[in-house]
Amino acid sequence: MENIAEDLATMRRTPLHPEHVAAMREIGYSKTYKKGDYLARIGEPIDRFVYIEDGEVEVVHMVTEQRLLASTLGPTQFMGEIAFLNGGVFTLPLRAAQDTRTLEVPREAMLSLMSNIPEMSDIVISVLAARRRRQVEAENGALILIGADQDPKIQRIASFASRNKIPFVSYDLDSEEAQESANSCNIGTAHPAVIFGKERYLENPTPKEVARLLGLRQDIPEGMNADLLIVGGGPAGVAAAVYAGAEGIKALVIDELAIGGQAGTSSRIENYMGFPTGISGADLVWRGQIQAMKFGTCFSVPNQATHVEKQADGRFCVTLDDGQNICVRSILIATGVQYQRLPLGRLDHFEGAGVYYAATDMEARFCRTRDAAIIGGGNSAGQAAMFLSRSANHVHVLVRGDSLAASMSDYLSSRLEADPKITIHYNCKVGELHGENGLTHITLSEGENCRSLDVGALFIMVGAAPNTGWLSGLVELDNKGFVKCGGNPDGSPYATSQPGIFAVGDVRSGSVKRVASAVGEGSVVISEVWRYLDAMSDGN
């Protein structure tokens, strides 16, 4: 992420020009608040843009209701953060520190104004994005997590929040901070829970519940008729979302876990053009998501497509895992691949409690001061090993073959071999997992010999399989389940056997499994989608 000092400099500058304020005044309204009045409470929808003309507004701690930050907002500044673009909710309370007068514009009207005045949009989005980055890095945010150090359910929420760039603070179950937070919310003795505001908490949280609280998982109107549904929020899907929005295509992006896809689990990508010192997959895709939201593309997570049917009128009806239906004119398959679950005994027991499929900042916290093991010999496994070696005592990379030459970039394998905190084990596989409440050690099978490794975390990064089970036989797949493209009469390289359904990125048969190629495919496919939609409109 960008440096906090740069973010603060962005937020301190005079945010809007006089002509911008004049344009807002034509469509907005004035409002006054007395000292102590709340301009926004946690969980309320961000339904308006609030520009401060006079007075002072302070950010308030969601539980203690005391001033949270030393700095406040004053004249010429405005409230909000990046969730404004996607219709989220306020994640921190805001209160008038003195009598305050504001200029307020309804959200939809403000978005339309920003679309018409690019310079104004650039200023607003820069400030809103900087605030989100600052919230994440400073852990000033919507959620307090208690017990992620012990409870798999809370660990899943922590991972979900981290991958979706939701600001949160996490307290170990036995810490004083955990007990203080529990007391403030009247939940008695500290126990695993997610706190969202004063006296609002979830004891058995799921990512879907948390997403609904934060406005990330929007209820989709029954029979919604969008131009394009993009299924998958990885680099290919988000690139398509940017260009769809820029071309005026009404698009919705869904993902079953987080915007970022498998690339979002990469702690550092060094071979993507334009970032010589590297960039995390999550940051790269997050920048794209902001661009797409700027152009009006909507995102909703977590949402998993389970079935699709073609209607008599040519539209497609996609069923989600909660029973919702989305009716669209076209579909872009960008679901990528996912690491397969290995046939290991007690795997279910340890998933989220020592066994993980991503190596982000959150997972790195879970294996701090302990040894970790990674199953896999690809670039993702190598990047994860380098990243985890900063926090784990030692990292063991477990490879079934006798070399990394065929599966990992040379620069990466050379770094692994040179790092004293990393050991590569060739010709081996995991036989058994051991532990009670959490993973404590694993048994390896190396040739005819078995040995034990004391590890507190095991990362599985092998056996990538395409996410195509939901396509219900509508498109042709190859013998490995990847989507076949290019066989249609017009020769389109991304069109499937079903007119109106396209595929890009890792899920496409024969694609190059690289972030840059996924971004490229997602960018250029929109021209094909546009031609299809245009022809469909002419036919009607």
| Res 188 pLDDT > 90 | no
Query: What is the C-alpha to C-alpha distance for residues 452 and 51, in angstroms, rounded to an integer?
Result: 61
SS3 157: helix
| Res 491 pLDDT > 80 | no
| Res 4 pLDDT > 50 | no
- Check residue 55 and give its pLDDT: 97
Q: Which residues are within 8 A (CB) of 323 and not within 5 positions of it... i.e. 6 or more apart?
A: none
Query: What is the C-alpha to C-alpha distance for residues 161 and 181, in angstroms, rounded to an integer?
Result: 19
Mean pLDDT of 378-396: 93
- Check residue 13 and give its pLDDT: 53
Mean pLDDT of 53-75: 89
* Model confidence pLDDT, tens digit, residues 232-274: 999 999 999 999 999 999 999 999 988 988 787 777 788 888 8
- Check residue 20 and give its pLDDT: 96
Give me the residue label for tokens 């009607």.
540
Confidence of residue 304 (pLDDT cuts 50, 70, 90): very high
Q: Which amino acid is at 103?
A: L
| Res 316 pLDDT > 90 | yes
Q: What is the mean pLDDT of the chain?
A: 89
Answer with the residue of higher pLDDT: 86 or 198.
86
Mean pLDDT of 38-47: 93
Q: How many residues does the chain have?
A: 540
Four-way CATH pick for 4-136: 1.10.10.10, 2.60.120.10, 3.40.920.10, 3.40.30.10? 2.60.120.10
| Res 382 pLDDT > 80 | yes
How many helices and strands, by DSSP H and E, does the chain display?
15, 25
Which residues are paired to 279 by β-bridges? 269
Domains 4-136 and 143-214 share a fold: no
What are the DSSP calls for 484-527, one per residue? P-S-STT--TTB-SSTTEEE-GGGBTT---SHHHHHHHHHHHHH
Q: Which residues are within 8 A (CB) of 475 and not within 5 positions of it... i.e. 6 or more apart?
A: 333, 483, 484, 496, 497, 498, 501, 503
* Model confidence pLDDT, tens digit, residues 126-178: 999 999 988 888 887 778 999 988 888 898 899 889 888 889 999 999 999 99
Confidence of residue 3 (pLDDT cuts 50, 70, 90): very low
Class of domain 347-462: alpha beta
For residue 356, report the phi and psi dihedrals to the nearest 5 degrees.
Answer: -135, 160
Q: What CATH architecture does domain 143-214 belong to? A: 3-Layer(aba) Sandwich (3.40)
* Model confidence pLDDT, tens digit, residues 348-370: 889 888 999 888 888 888 888 89
Mean pLDDT of 221-231: 78
Mean pLDDT of 44-48: 94
* Model confidence pLDDT, tens digit, residues 413-464: 999 999 999 999 999 889 999 998 789 999 998 765 678 899 999 999 987 7
Confidence of residue 540 (pLDDT cuts 50, 70, 90): low
Answer with the residue of higher pLDDT: 340 or 232.
232
- Check residue 299 and give its pLDDT: 92
Instruction: Name the CATH superfamily for 225-338+465-539.
Output: FAD/NAD(P)-binding domain (3.50.50.60)
- Check residue 291 and give its pLDDT: 94
- Check residue 447 and give its pLDDT: 63
| Res 494 pLDDT > 50 | yes
Distances in Å between the Cα of 289 and the Cα atoms of 98, 260, 268, 292, 294 are 36, 9, 18, 5, 9
Residue ranges of the domains in the chain?
A: 4-136, 143-214, 225-338+465-539, 347-462
Confidence of residue 220 (pLDDT cuts 50, 70, 90): low
| Res 1 pLDDT > 50 | no
Mean pLDDT of 213-242: 84
Distances in Å between the Cα of 276 and the Cα atoms of 160, 269, 273, 282 are 28, 9, 7, 17
Say if residues 160 and 210 touch (Cβ distance below 8 Å): yes
